[in-house]
Amino acid sequence: MKKFKIVIIIYIFSLLIGYPYKINAYEEPSDEIIEDNKVEYRSIDDLLKELKEERKLINQQKLDEINQKKLEKQNQDGGVSEEAPVPETPKPKKDSENEYIPKLIVRLRGKHSPKYLCSYELLITDDTKEIELSKDIISNYSLLMKKPSLKVRPGEIINFEFVPNCKSLNAYIWDEENDLLKEIKVKRGCIEVPNIDKKIVVIIQGNFSNGYIKYGIVLDIRK
């Protein structure tokens, strides 16, 4: 029995002596161990990319929630979604008065300005109706004299033209003292400034097939 124990001890001892590795408590860890235990730090680009993906996912979730709420509201309203009508931009109302008013062009020394057209009186007639348009100022001599005047000299030629063209044209000087209109000569749409030295009101009348129009113009005649 003693011999058997001795043999076992010798066998175990021989195994220990033949073991190929050394056990060293102070031996540094190998490169493989260091590599396995190494902490990996992520780059900024990777972090930004991940943050962008997360934000995209959050936005998509919010959009899905909004669509879901819309769908639920449609179901509550009977399953039909009617968009609120978009209010139309109000179109400017066409001045019905201007539809009928012929325009008067006043030319002096080759130039034209509409600011001297003080007022008008318009009468349009046809088989079914009669339209009369007037600005009160044309019947008020004092108010007309306060309006901008066209400065002219005696003997100058003033040309008048209606758009659209009229059949005939008449011109009158308003005689304030006698409260009447004195007709003056018109040749090819032109009048000659009378030889006086004062302000006067001239009424230009265009005659059309369905009515007439009168414009009041103040002339400041200076010798």
Indicate the pTM of the whole model: 0.53
79 found inside a domain = no
39 found inside a domain = no
Given this model, what pLDDT does residue 94 score?
Answer: 46
| Residue-range definition of the domain harbouring residue 150 | 103-221
Given this model, what pLDDT does residue 3 score?
Answer: 60
Given this model, what pLDDT does residue 141 score?
Answer: 85
* CATH number of domain containing 208: 2.60.40
DSSP assignment of 25-62, as one string? Answer: TTPPPPHHHHHHHPPPPPPHHHHHHHHHHHHHHHHHHH
164 found inside a domain = yes
14 found inside a domain = no
98 found inside a domain = no
Q: What are all long-range contacts of 167-171, with beta carbons under 8 Å and residues at least 24 apart?
A: 167/207, 167/208, 167/209, 168/206, 168/207, 169/204, 169/205, 169/206, 169/207, 170/204, 170/205, 170/207, 171/202, 171/203, 171/204, 171/205
74 found inside a domain = no
Q: What is the mean pLDDT of each run of 10 residues along the chain (223 residues)?
A: 63 59 51 52 62 76 82 70 49 52 86 70 72 70 86 94 92 86 93 94 90 89 91
Given this model, what pLDDT does residue 14 score?
Answer: 64
70 found inside a domain = no
What total number of domains does the chain contain? 1
In DSSP terms, 201 is beta-bridged to 218
18 found inside a domain = no
